[in-house]
Amino acid sequence: MTGIRKNLSRRAFIQTAGAVGLGSVLGSSMAGKPAYGGTSTPTTALSTVPKRPFGKTGQKVSILSLGGVLRESDQLIFRQAFRMGVTYWDTADSYGWGRNEKAIGKYFAKFPEDRKKVFLVTKGGSSDPKKLSEKLHQSLQRLRSSYVDLYFIHYVSDVESELTAEVKAWAEKAKSDGKIRFFGFSAHKNMENSMLAAAQLGWIDGIMVSYNYRLMEKEKMKRAVDACAAAGIGLTAMKTQAAFSANFYASIGSETDEASQMTRRLMAKGYTAEQAKLRMVWENPQIASICSAMPNMTILQANVAAALNPRELSDGDRQRLRHYAMQTAPGYCAGCAAVCESAVDPGIPVSDAMRWSMYHNGYGDRYRAMRHFHRLPSGVKAKMRLADYDEAERRCPQNMPIGKILQQALEDLA
């Protein structure tokens, strides 16, 4: 494992958070006024995570959202998140084969009075109205709730073909039936095109999209965010750590001086590089919330500390993150699938496979990556092994070694 990856992995997040001293950070930052112009209601002597308006819905949501990785045994983390003001909870019918929804349902069964204070989001991976009804019904049963605040179609990449008039009619009926309050979608690839198209529809309430210190600097992403904000669409950022491919850093062999210097400077200010990446996203007031996987109390506390720390990033900090993004671009897939996938066999899910590789190499989540790869038909895997990726690599704006990454992923995971 290289130095850079060690600094940015989830395990290192816990280690560096401990080095910074979460107790002192939380003690100082949580006593002050909420950061980022949000609103917060004190429940104890400490402040809670601030809130922002969620698009045109009239709702305010916590700027930090609890991602769907917790299990039924993690009730203490749910409880602590709620007490800290992390009241936007995100899940999906596919997370842990429904286990995360069941975990949330167990919490609401024990603390039913908290349900109305939680902005609850779940997702179903279908554009077929009948299947959507079935998935929503199953999710509500698991969640032990009669409704969700926001329902997403999972993994939308082509708005025209997936957000049809039939889907609009389904969403309107689900709202009138009181089963959902708002409707939208999540996007992992071709995000900007999907966001721009959704802004023209007039009936999308919210979008969850990959958005981080790398992507937020791209002009097309800026236009897409502006268009959604103008259309009153609430935006939730995910993948804010912008994890990279280990294949790229294996070729470097060691941490760069720039990355080491950036980490030292940030830790001297009382927060980790991971916390700084969250803050970069929060500096854009058009982003209502950041969805973060927080599988343990340490990461939850570190993220809350970042949300409440009144110290702003300096221009130098921002510039160092921008430089780091440029320096490490060949290790990060930006999700522009239309660019690379049009250069290879159309049956090869290049962008998806790159994301699954990132789960393994960037997040250290081998199980999740293997689960996705194992779903690929054997014929698709054979095509991936034999494909020529030279043209895709020439077109890639990140200059990624696509062929090398996919071949290594097949060897490691498939």
If asked whether residues 277 and 409 sit together in one domain, one would say no
If asked whether residues 239 and 270 sit together in one domain, one would say yes
**Higher-confidence position of 320 and 121:** 121
- The reported pLDDT for the residue numbered 245 is 59
Q: How far apart are CA 302 and CA 293, in angstroms?
A: 12
What pLDDT, in 10s, does the model give residues 229-241?
999 999 999 999 9
If asked whether residues 243 and 385 sit together in one domain, one would say no
If asked whether residues 310 and 349 sit together in one domain, one would say no
Does residue 399 surpass a pLDDT of 50? yes
What pLDDT, in 10s, does the model give residues 1-16?
333 333 334 444 444 4
If asked whether residues 131 and 149 sit together in one domain, one would say yes
Choose the final residue of a domain: 285, 304, 325.
Answer: 325
If asked whether residues 134 and 215 sit together in one domain, one would say yes
Enclosing domain of residue 206 = 3-325
If asked whether residues 217 and 73 sit together in one domain, one would say yes
- The reported pLDDT for the residue numbered 183 is 98
- 260: exposed, middle or buried (C-beta count within 10 Å: 0-12, 13-18, 19+)? middle
Four-CA torsion 222, 168, 164, 142, nearest 10 degrees: 90
Q: How confident is the model at residue 247 (pLDDT cuts 50, 70, 90)?
A: low
Q: Work out the angle between the directed axes of helices 378-386 and 402-413 (0-180°, nearest 10).
A: 140
- 364: exposed, middle or buried (C-beta count within 10 Å: 0-12, 13-18, 19+)? middle
If asked whether residues 295 and 390 sit together in one domain, one would say no
Average pLDDT over residues 115-137: 97
If asked whether residues 320 and 389 sit together in one domain, one would say no
Does residue 254 surpass a pLDDT of 50? no
Does residue 223 surpass a pLDDT of 90? yes
The number of domains in the chain is 2
Spell out the long-range contacts of 262-270 with Cβ–Cβ below 8 A and sequence spacing 24 or more. Answer: 262/317, 262/320, 262/321, 262/324, 263/7, 263/16, 265/316, 265/317, 265/320, 266/317, 267/16, 267/19, 267/20, 269/311, 269/317, 270/20, 270/21, 270/24, 270/25, 270/309, 270/311
What pLDDT, in 10s, does the model give residues 20-57?
444 444 444 444 444 555 654 443 334 899 999 999 99
CATH code for the domain of 127 = 3.20.20.100
Does an H or E element contain 149, and which?
Answer: strand 148-153
If asked whether residues 269 and 387 sit together in one domain, one would say no
- Tokens linked to 255: 């941490």
What pLDDT, in 10s, does the model give residues 63-82?
999 999 999 999 999 999 99
Q: Could you tell me if 87 and 61 are in contact, meaning their C-beta atoms sit under 8 angstroms apart? A: yes
Q: What percent of the chain has pLDDT over 70?
A: 85
* pTM (2 d.p.): 0.87
If asked whether residues 342 and 241 sit together in one domain, one would say no
Choose the final residue of a domain: 325, 359, 375.
Answer: 325
Q: How far apart are CA 311 and CA 278, in angstroms?
A: 13
If asked whether residues 294 and 338 sit together in one domain, one would say no
How many Cα atoms occupy the beta-carbon half-sphere of 127 within 13 Å? 15
Choose the final residue of a domain: 304, 325, 346.
Answer: 325
- The reported pLDDT for the residue numbered 37 is 53
